[in-house]
Chain A
Amino acid sequence: EVRLVESGGGLVKPGGSLRLSCAASGFTFSSYTMNWVRQAPGKGLEWVSSITTSSSYIYYADSVKGRFTISRDNAKNSLYLQMNSLRAEDTAMYYCAKVRGSDSGPDYWGLGTLVTVSS
């Protein structure tokens, strides 16, 4: 059974930093591209970032480029999102998602971790 468990969310002041983690199990983590997707309270889904299997290709939404860094540790079956210079508009539930295959979207999602940016 595919399992994705996010952690690391919390309350942070504007300008602060957080590091999200996603522990993966139930599949060969090193064989799949992974995504971070977020959802602001009461709003729709927003793609944040993607990382390919060996971290060769990394992509970011314009809204987070230069502030967020995605990474993975295949030995630990873990995905990360380092978030710096946080803004109020980054407040959201952050989901870790496994991507099905080339040009296909996420097929499994975690339960999410909530990030609140507020003074």
Chain B
Amino acid sequence: NFMLTQPHSVSESPGKTVTISCTRSSGSIANNYVQWYQQRPGSSPTTVIYEDNQRPSAVPDRFSGSIDSSSNSASLTISGLKTEDEADYYCQSYDSSNHGVFGGGTKLTVL
């Protein structure tokens, strides 16, 4: 099994760009797709990126995802930050035993 490690929190100003990392502890990040979820306070998670870099149709193109084999990590980048982007963000993947793995979550503050 592996762990997915995210920064506990990030903050940036409106209109700027922020990147949230998700580092896989063992095994290649490319072995299994990575998803990203947004969770606003008191709400259920929603998908912002699936299968490493695919964006659901309802999600604005300010959100993008990527993976980097050299750092064995996935990244979620949000450009043109808006106050409504303030939320918790979680990365997720599956291990070789088909067990789900979530990162610990990153609290994004837009100030």
Contact = CB atoms under 8 A, between A and B. Distances in A.
Contact of A44 (B56, B93, B97, B104): B104
A35 B105 contact: no
A100 B50 contact: yes
A110 B45 CA distance: 9
Contacts of B47: 100, 105-108
A37 interface: yes
Given A45-B105, A103-B33, A50 B50 contact: no
Given A37-B100, A61-B99, 10 more contacts: A44-B103, A44-B104, A45-B39, A47-B101, A47-B102, A59-B97, A103-B32, A106-B35, A106-B37, A106-B92
29 contacts: A37-B100, A44-B90, A44-B103, A44-B104, A44-B105, A45-B37, A45-B90, A45-B105, A46-B102, A50-B99, A59-B97, A59-B98, A59-B99, A61-B100, A95-B44, A95-B45, A100-B47, A100-B50, A100-B51, A103-B33, A104-B51, A105-B33, A105-B93, A105-B100, A106-B45, A106-B47, A107-B47, A108-B47, A109-B46
A44 B50 contact: no
Sorted nearest first, the 9 A-B pairs with minimum C-beta distance are A47-B100, A105-B35, A44-B105, A109-B44, A45-B102, A105-B92, A59-B98, A44-B104, A107-B47
Interface of B: 32-33, 35, 37, 39, 44-47, 50-51, 56, 88, 90, 92-94, 97-105
Contacts of B99: 47, 50, 59, 61
Interface residues of A, number: 22
A107 B55 CA distance: 11
Interface of A is mostly: strand
A37 B102 CA distance: 10
Nearest to A105: B35
